[in-house]
Amino acid sequence: MENLTQEMLKKEIGDTIIGYVQERKYAMTNNAKGDLGAMKMIFLLDESIMYIEYEKSDTIQMSRIDKIPGELLKMEENNDDVKNVLGDKCPSIRLEYKDSQYGLETRSIHYFNPKYRLNKEAYQNHKYGYWNLFVNKSGSLSVRNEDNLYPIYKSVMEAFSIEEKEVPDEFFKISEGKVIKSMD
């Protein structure tokens, strides 16, 4: 959208995301400095639940991730569309779908590196963004995402480092004392 500047986006959604992955859950935090502050998203795969928590909000949003998000328009592995990420050539999977709630199209290209394996079985019910299909096909983490929520915005997220280490359980806990509101 033309009226959204890079400065506005950096303030409201940040320019860096840090991800934490365990076998059956993952979390992402950003460095936003807007009115709501930084955002944390927690995905609990066994419960099929996603929590979205903002630093300066007293409410935590909760959604199911086991619902199909809309109509799948296209899914294809593209061996010709390869990007160099972290020194490795990474193949891609294209996902396109139409959101059932607003009718908007999401066109995504996810580049993956097979050396960063995920448990396909753990992601079977993670239908949010058709992530189950991506993980089933790639078996891996996405190291670069090009997402286009047409015609609203396009974002590119690329890993600049991956550190393999034990991730403590506290990264996957929501703050106590906040109201949890279902978004379904």
- Please say whether the beta carbons of 129 and 93 come within 8 A: no
Chain segment 58-103, per-residue pLDDT in tens: 999 999 999 988 899 999 998 889 999 999 999 999 999 998 888 8
Q: Is the pLDDT of residue 107 over 80?
A: yes
Confidence (pTM): 0.91
81 vs 92: CA distance, rounded Å: 6
